[in-house]
């Protein structure tokens, strides 16, 4: 797809590290599937990946996790 941020690059399938913060918790997810703009590096995730990341971050925050680094896995 054409990148909606820079409007010049096309995205390509890749992997990325994502950091999410919620209610005092910081979660770092490594090896997350993504579409990455070849021009500006902007990262995009499909709805399924985004939902999974948000569910896992919510569970960690509710469990009292302050900081966690994990390899991405579908929730």
The number of folded domains in the chain is 1
Assigned domain for 6 exists: no
Assigned domain for 25 exists: yes
Residue 73's pLDDT is what?
86
Assigned domain for 1 exists: no
CATH of the domain at 64: 3.10.20
Assigned domain for 21 exists: yes
Residue 75's pLDDT is what?
64
3-state helix, strand, coil in the chain (%, to 5): 20, 45, 35
Structural tokens at position 13: 């399938």
Assigned domain for 3 exists: no
CB 39 within 8 A of CB 9: yes
Using a 10 angstrom Cβ sphere, with 0-12 exposed, 13-18 middle and 19 or more buried, the burial of residue 39 is middle
The residues that bridge with 58 in the sheet, in sequence order, are none
Q: Residue-wise pLDDT tens for the chain (75 aa)?
A: 899 999 999 999 999 999 998 888 899 999 999 999 999 999 999 999 999 999 999 998 899 999 999 999 876
CB 32 within 8 A of CB 14: no
- Domain span at 23: 11-71
């Amino acid at each position: 797809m054409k990148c909606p941020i820079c409007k010049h690059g096309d995205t390509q399938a890749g992997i990325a590290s994502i950091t999410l913060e919620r209610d005092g918790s910081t979660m770092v997810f490594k090896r997350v599937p993504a579409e990455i703009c070849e021009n500006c590096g902007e990262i995009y995730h499909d709805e399924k990946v985004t939902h999974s990341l948000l569910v896992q971050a919510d569970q960690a925050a509710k469990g009292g996790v302050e900081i966690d680094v994990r390899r991405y896995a579908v929730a």
